[in-house]
Amino acid sequence: MVHAESPRALHRFAVFLASCVIGLIAAGGLVKSLEAGLSVPDWPTSYGGLNPPRWWEIENVRAEHGHRLIAGTVALMTVALAIWAWRREPRRWVRRLAWGAGVAVLLQALLGGLTVLLFLPTAVSVSHAALAQLFLCMVVAFALVTSRGWRESIASPELAATGRDLQALASGTTVLVYAQILVGALVRHTGSGLAIPDFPLMFGRWWPPQFDFSITIHLIHRIGAVLVTVAVVTLLVRIARCSSRRGFVVPAVAMGLLLVAQVTLGATIIWSGRAVLPNTLHVPTGATLLAASLILTLRSWRAAAAAPASSRTVGEPAMVAA
Amino acid sequence: MKHTFFRLALGLSAIALLAACGGGDDTTATTTEAPLAAVVPSGGSGSITGLVSYSGDDTDAEINMDADPVCASAHSDPVSTESVVASDGNLANVFVYLKEGVGGSHTVSSEAVLLDQTGCTYVPHISGIQVGQKLVIRNSDPTLHNVHALPEKNKEFNQGQPFQNMELEKSFDTAEVMVRLKCDVHPWMSAYIGVVDHPYFAVSGTDGSFSIEGLPAGDYVVEAWHETLGTRTQSVTVGDGAVTVSFDYDA
Ligand SMILES: [Cu+2]
């Protein structure tokens, strides 16, 4: 069975939307870094209207209201993506993925509004951060599976072997990065970013001398960073040894660079006493690392799922599990 | 201070009222709503006056209001935070109230307490209010504010005031010293309101002085509360006249 192609423009639109979602996540990170989440007290209105007076001139209102405007735009774009996919995307599961992203972004808006109206309870704010990453993952996955490279993956024994080899490691890394982001969200929304005030030491030692909730989750986030580093380095070494395929090498190298940037930002947050810029950039950098890890993971699954080469002729497009 | 003067005037008029009644039982006679003379209806002729002293420095930092150009342009001189306002050994912005010893119920003043937002600061920074008394929060600025109360015993609220001269009316259900209010638009803006279930409270002025009037005779515990320097308490016996109480924040 040969599938009709996803429109090229739909794929490009999805890539653009994914980059907008990263921008939206950065805007959300800025709101938290400025502690501006309650600077617009009402929702869905802003100071009783569509746009508060002089909102672009006032730092915190610009952050919070700007986040709402970007979010509204991304939500409309996602609904447009879903409608477009529904009409033109041949694979049913890909159409469902687009609808899933649409539902996720609407739920995400509700969580954002709810956390403002409830004065930022930790559970709601952390859920808002957690769903943001899942929404990003859906859009990234959609963009990936509508790409020409995905459709034209050539089944070969070498590729299938590499895919199987990478599958578990890449999947584990993606889950680990997501968990690390969740812990990071908990650190942010419980104000625990400086619970351990020094880096790389902790209270001048290699292990905190005392513990409370904030110190514990802060410590877990630091341990998480070590685990993610180990996972990413292992992944890089594995790919360097086993595959020169661009589809694996590019996201893996991106993950390495993003990891270095992310750890540097994390350290800078501590050293600067939570300066707004590193504290904000830490959020979209983590999201981009997750996206890169997801791309690598999905490609490894795709390669591994390719039917054994013996049953296919070289050059036949690999099939997608529907 | 305007507020203290106001209460003094009310105290005097209440005394006049009591005198007209022949000095009879004063706690039950005044439940009718008297628009102006409601602050000290159950009171007596005792008073507590005193000074709050502190020899430390006025440690307040200059506020950078660049986050909102309207705020920045509202001031030609630098504005400081009001955490520790001290001069000549006197400490201002100390909330002094009777913590223990006040019995009976008290008519709630029908006069509203005003909390103004002007020049992107709260005026007054420290104030007091009775449980159930009306609090009017005004935005006198040509910019927007959100008014965010962070009580622990009362109900949290956060309301926007996008336009100049908007007013908001609130009241508190439960005694709570202190309720913090802040503006999330302008992070330097904060105010504290002491919510008490009687009318016996005052805020020290820039000369460190305070005065609580119209007290029935009795034994009281007086507490002084300061935003950063903490609380001090003293036991006081009040009779017919004025008792002097001083709080020393150096001790
Ligand atoms: Cu304000």
**What's the complex ipTM?**
0.87
For the ranges A76-85, A108-117, B70-79, B152-161, the lowest mean pLDDT is seen at: B70-79
Mutate to test the interface with A, among B147, B185, B186 (most CBs of A within 10 A): B185
The number of beta carbons lying within 10 Å of the beta carbon of residue B192 is 22
Q: Does B78 touch chain A (CB under 8 A)?
A: no
Burial A73-90 (b: 16+ CB within 10 A, else e): ebbebbbebbebbeeebe
pLDDT value, residue B61: 85
Whole-number pLDDT of residue A2: 46
A58 vs B contacts (CB less than 8 Å): 67-68, 70, 143-144, 185
Show the low-confidence residues of chain A (pLDDT under 50): 1-2, 309-322
The chain B residue lying nearest A54, using CA atoms, is B143
Residue B100 pLDDT greater than 60, yes or no: yes
Amino acid letter for position A11: H
Nearest to A39 among B70, B163, B185 (CB): B185
Q: Which domains does chain B have, with CATH numbers?
A: 44-104+201-251 (2.60.40.1120), 107-197 (2.60.40.420)
CA distance B140 to chain A (A): 15
Asked if A58's CB is within 8 angstroms of B143's CB, the reply is yes
Report pLDDT for B13: 44
**Scanning every residue of chain A, which has its alpha carbon at the shortest distance from the alpha carbon of B158?**
A41
Q: Which residues of B touch A38 (CB under 8 A)?
A: 146, 148, 158, 184
Q: How far is CA B246 from CA A13, A22, A117, B50, B147, in A?
A: 72, 59, 44, 5, 34
Q: What SS3 class is residue B9?
A: helix
- Kindly give the distance from the C-alpha atom of residue A39 to the centroid of ligand 1, in angstroms, as a whole number: 9
**Which has the minimum average pLDDT: A6-20, A128-142, B27-41, B79-93?**
B27-41
The total number of residues shown for chain A amounts to 322
Give CA–CA dist A31/B251, Å, rounded: 43
- One-letter amino acid for residue A95 of the chain: R
Q: Exposed/middle/buried for A266, CB within 10 Å: 0-12, 13-18, 19+?
A: buried
Q: Which residue has the higher pLDDT, A170 or B10?
A: A170
Q: What is the pLDDT of residue B42?
A: 55
Residues A38, B146: C-beta atoms closer than 8 Å: yes
Contact A219, A196 (CB under 8 A): yes
Phi, psi of B26 (to 5 degrees): -95, -15
The arrangement of strands across the sheet holding B201-203 comes to: B201-203, B95-100, B218-226, B230-238
B54 neighbors B86 (Cβ within 8 angstroms):
yes
Distance CA A44, CA A51 (A): 11
Find the closest chain A residue to B145 by CA distance. Answer: A39
CB pair distance less than 8 Å for B162 and A38: no
Phi/psi for B183 (5° steps) reads -115, 125
pLDDT at B5 over 70: no
Q: Which residues pair with B87 in a beta bridge?
A: B90
pTM of the complete model: 0.87
CB contact under 8 A, A40 and B146: yes
The Cα B113–Cα B3 span in angstroms is 9
d(CA A103, CA A79): 9
Identify the pLDDT of residue B78: 86
Q: What local confidence, expressed as pLDDT, does residue A211 receive?
A: 96
pLDDT given for residue B210 in this prediction: 97
Q: Which residue in B67, B69, B162 is closest to A60 by CB distance? A: B67
pLDDT for A156 equals: 78
Q: Kindly list the residues from chain A whose CB atom is less than 8 angstroms away from the CB atom of residue B184.
A: 35-39, 41, 60
Q: Which of B156, B162, B187 sits opposite A48 (nearest CB)?
A: B162
Instruction: Write B236-244 long-range contacts (CB < 8 A, 24+).
Output: B236/B48, B238/B44, B238/B46, B238/B47, B238/B48, B239/B46, B240/B44, B240/B45, B240/B46, B241/B45, B241/B46, B241/B47, B242/B46, B242/B47, B242/B48, B242/B49, B243/B46, B243/B47, B243/B48, B243/B49, B244/B48, B244/B49, B244/B50
| Cross-chain Cβ contact A39/B184 below 8 Å | yes
Higher per-residue confidence, B38 vs A134: A134
| pLDDT for position B26 | 33
**A38–B144 CB contact, under 8 Å:** no
Q: Does B69 touch chain A (CB under 8 A)?
A: yes
Q: Are A286 and A181 in contact (CB under 8 A)?
A: yes
**B69 neighbourhood in chain A, CB within 8 Å:** 57
**What's the pLDDT band for B6 if we cut at 50, 70, 90?**
very low
Q: How far, in Å, are A165, A232, A288, A298 from residue A170 at the CA level?
A: 9, 9, 15, 9
Give B 159-178 residues with CB within 8 A of chain A. Answer: 159-160, 162-163
What would the pLDDT profile of B172-188 be if each residue is shown by its tens digit? 999 999 999 999 999 99
3-state secondary structure chain A: CCCCCCCHHHHHHHHHHHHHHHHHHHHHHHHHHCCCCCCCCCCCCECCECCCCCHHHCHHHHHHHHHHHHHHHHHHHHHHHHHHHHHHCCCHHHHHHHHHHHHHHHHHHHHHHHHHHCCCCHHHHHHHHHHHHHHHHHHHHHHHHCCHHHHCCECCHHHHHHHHHHHHHHHHHHHHHHHHHHHHHHHHHCCCCCCCCCCCCECCECCCCCCCHHHHHHHHHHHHHHHHHHHHHHHHHHHHHHCCCHHHHHHHHHHHHHHHHHHHHHHHHHHCCCCHHHHHHHHHHHHHHHHHHHHHHHHHHHHHHCCCHHHCCCCCECCCCC
| Count of beta carbons in the 10 Å neighbourhood of residue B86 | 22
pLDDT at residue B170, rounded to an integer: 97
- Shortest CA gap A56–chain B (Å): 10
